[in-house]
Chain A
Amino acid sequence: MAERKKMSVSEILAAARAQAGGGEAAAPAVEPAGGGAADAVDSAADTPVVEKPAAKAAPKPTAGGARPSVADIMAMARANKAAADAPAQSPTKSAPKPTAKPAEKPAAAKAAKPVAAKAAVARDTASILAAARAGAKPGPVSKADAPPRPAKPAAVKPAVAADHAAKPAAAKAVPPRPAKPAAKKSDSEEDRRGFLEIALGSFMALGFTALSVTGGLFSLGLARFFFPNVLAEPPSRFKVGFKEGFPAGKVETKFVAQYGVWVVNSDVAGEQQIYALKTVCTHLGCTPNWLEAEQKFKCPCHGSGFYKDGVNFEGPAPRPLERYAIRISDDGQLEVDKSKTFQEELGQWAESESYVTV
Chain B
Amino acid sequence: MHSNGLFLKDVAGFLGSYYTGLAIMNAVAALILWRKKGQPGWAVTWAVFAGVMMILASLALSGSESLVPSLPLSARTLVNTLSGPMLYTLGTTALFTVLFVFRRFFVQPMAAWTVFNVALVLMGLSMADENFAAIVMKPDNVPIVGLVFLLAFFTWVATKQAVVNDDRIRQGLPPMEKLDDEKVLVWPDLVYTELICMVAVSAFLLVWAIFLPAPLEEPASSVKTPNPSKAPWYFLGLQEMLVYFDPWYAGVVLPSLVVFGLMAMPYLDFNKKGNGYYSIEERKFSYLVYQFGFFELWITLIILGTFLRGPNWNFYGPFEYWTPYKVEVLNNVDLPQMFWVNLLDQPLPRAPQGAGTLTQIGYIFLREAPGLALLGGYLLLLPPLLAVTVFRGYFAKMGFIRYMIMANLMLLMLSLPLKMILRWTLNLKYLVSIPEFSLNF
Contact = CB atoms under 8 A, between A and B. Distances in A.
B180 interface: yes
B224 interface: yes
Contacts of A71: 188
Contacts of B312: 289, 291, 298-300, 303
A288 B435 CA distance: 20
B70 interface: no
Interface in A1-39: 4, 8-10, 12
Interface string B177-194: 000110111011000000
B113 interface: no
B232 interface: no
Interface in A291-323: 291, 293-294, 298-303, 305, 313-316, 318-319
A318 B313 contact: no
A287 interface: yes
Residue in A260, A299, A303, A314 with the greatest tally of chain B CB atoms within 10 Å: A303
A346 interface: yes
A257 interface: yes
B188 A70 contact: yes
Interface of B is mostly: loop
Nearest to B181: A8
A70 B185 contact: yes
Contact of A283 (B180, B226, B242): B242
A286 B229 contact: yes
Contact of B223 (A256, A305, A313): A256
Contact of B243 (A289, A300, A316): A316
Contacts of B250: 316
Interface in A215-265: 256-258, 260
A12 B183 CA distance: 11
A130 interface: no
A318 B225 contact: no
Contact of A302 (B183, B188, B239): B239
Contacts of A266: none
A300 B313 contact: yes
B185 A9 contact: yes
A303 B222 CA distance: 18
Interface residues of B, number: 43
B239 to A, nearest CB: 7
Interface in B393-441: 429-430, 433, 435-436, 438, 440
Contacts of B436: 345-346
A257 B185 contact: no
Contact of A318 (B226, B239, B435): B435
Contacts of A354: none
Contacts of B225: 286-288, 299-301
Contacts of B332: 313-315
Given A287-B225, A299-B313, A316-B245, A345 B435 contact: yes
Nearest to A13: B185
B390 interface: no
B140 interface: no
A300 B311 contact: yes
A279 B225 CA distance: 11
Contacts of B180: 8-10
A9 B181 CA distance: 8
B183 A315 contact: no
A313 B225 CA distance: 20
A111 B155 CA distance: 59
Contact of A315 (B184, B330, B440): B330
A287 B330 contact: no
Given A313-B331, A314-B330, A260 B181 contact: no
A284 interface: yes
A63 to B, nearest CB: 13
Closest 7 CB pairs of A and B: A303-B313, A300-B227, A314-B330, A319-B435, A345-B435, A287-B225, A286-B225
Interface of B: 180-181, 183-185, 187-188, 221-229, 239, 242-247, 250-251, 311-314, 324-325, 327, 329-332, 429-430, 433, 435-436, 438, 440
15 contacts: A8-B180, A9-B185, A260-B222, A284-B242, A286-B229, A287-B222, A293-B327, A299-B225, A300-B311, A301-B242, A303-B330, A315-B313, A316-B243, A316-B245, A316-B247
